[in-house]
């Protein structure tokens, strides 16, 4: 079984395979995304049960804008629906919700709900669900550099004081006390991080699953956590 002390504090997930799942079933891509949203909501109570503190999911990347307008609109609607329909559930279950990524580019109504849900859930004590929406790892590093350069220009810090901690505090994952994922899961057999949390994944254990995201359920999640518990994390240090 899963030993509680070896449960990863912060799990990051690249949810992938929605369209392939739909295609395999002769359904439109949107059906795959709807199934994917349901898949995510099924994992939230499991994270609470198993004591995972932070779950960061790649919900929409800076590269996803190139998809057909209809699909982008549907994904935005899906995100808005999740924020509106699940708010009561988040409050009842003590789930905190934050969003990382460039929100300014999102539809006004989505931005409104992002602000509302972030504010309403900010003191919730249990799982911290971080939705990466219009997020890009390189963009995250660029914006943290810009923020630090402004502080240096304003004399708030000196260049020699800029260290890993300073950068970490400027990245968009500053919203959580556990900014570095212990485990990254990617579904659908793809073996790449697609401009997700580049800086933050430096010492993260990677787990790749063949299953398509809508099929990733409790059994698959438990398998990923068991795999994590069997790993010897050396962080580049002590002997084998």
Ligand X SMILES: CC(C)CCOP(=O)(O)OP(=O)(O)O
Chain contacts with ligand X (rule: CB under 6 A): 15-20, 36, 59-60, 64, 75, 188, 213
Binding-site size, Mg ion (CB under 5 A): 1
CB of 71 to Mg ion, least distance (A): 12
Residue closest to 200 by CA, chosen among 16, 56, 62: 56
* Partner from ligand X, Mg ion, none binding residue 20, C-beta < 5-8 Å depending on class: ligand X
Which of the residues 16, 182, 209, 215 is marked catalytic?
16
CB of 233 to Mg ion, least distance (A): 28
CB of 151 to ligand X, least distance (A): 34
Question: Which DSSP helix (H) or strand (E) runs through 97?
Answer: strand 96-100
* Partner from Mg ion, ligand X, none binding residue 15, C-beta < 5-8 Å depending on class: ligand X
Tokens representing 30 are 């949107």
Residue 24 annotated as catalytic: no
Query: Measured between alpha carbons, how far is 128 from 236 in angstroms, rounded to an integer?
Result: 28
Query: Measured between alpha carbons, how far is 157 from 49 in angstroms, rounded to an integer?
Result: 42
* Partner from Mg ion, ligand X, none binding residue 18, C-beta < 5-8 Å depending on class: ligand X
CB of 29 to Mg ion, least distance (A): 10
Helix (H, G, I), strand (E, B) or coil at 221: helix
Tokens representing 94 are 């003590």
Query: Measured between alpha carbons, how far is 237 from 66 in angstroms, rounded to an integer?
Result: 42
Tokens representing 29 are 């891509």
Tokens representing 154 are 């304003």
* Partner from ligand X, Mg ion, none binding residue 180, C-beta < 5-8 Å depending on class: none
Nearer to Mg ion, 58 or 113 (CB): 58
Nearer to Mg ion, 36 or 179 (CB): 36
Nearer to Mg ion, 19 or 96 (CB): 19
Helix (H, G, I), strand (E, B) or coil at 96: strand
CB of 6 to ligand X, least distance (A): 28
CB neighbour list of residue 229: distance below 8 Å, 6 or more residues apart: 2, 3, 6, 7
Q: What part of residues 2-21 is at the interface with Mg ion (CB under 5 A)?
A: 16
Residues that bind Mg ion (CB under 5 A): 16
Active site residues: 16
């Amino acid at each position: 079984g899963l030993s509680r002390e070896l449960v990863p504090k912060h799990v990051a997930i690249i949810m992938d395979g929605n369209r392939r799942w739909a295609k395999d079933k002769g359904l439109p891509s949107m059906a795959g995304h709807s199934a994917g949203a349901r898949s995510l909501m099924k994992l939230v109570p499991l994270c609470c049960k198993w004591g995972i503190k932070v779950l960061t999911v790649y919900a929409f990347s800076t590269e996803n804008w190139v998809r057909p307008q209809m699909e982008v609109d549907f994904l935005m609607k899906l995100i808005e629906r999740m924020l509106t329909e699940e708010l009561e559930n988040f409050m009842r279950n003590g789930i905190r919700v934050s969003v990382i990524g460039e929100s300014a580019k999102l539809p006004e109504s989505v931005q409104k709900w992002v602000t509302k849900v972030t504010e309403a859930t900010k003191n919730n004590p249990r799982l911290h669900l971080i939705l990466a929406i219009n997020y890009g790892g390189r963009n995250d590093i660029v914006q943290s550099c810009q923020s630090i350069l402004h502080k240096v220009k304003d004399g708030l810090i000196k260049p020699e004081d800029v260290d890993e901690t300073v950068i970490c505090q400027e990245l968009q994952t500053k919203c959580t006390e556990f900014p570095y994922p212990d485990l990254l899961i990617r579904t659908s057999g793809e073996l790449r991080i697609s401009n997700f949390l580049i800086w933050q994944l430096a010492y993260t254990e990677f787990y790749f699953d063949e299953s398509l995201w809508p099929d990733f359920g409790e059994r698959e999640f438990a398998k990923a956590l068991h795999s994590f518990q069997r790993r010897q994390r050396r962080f580049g240090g002590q002997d084998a």
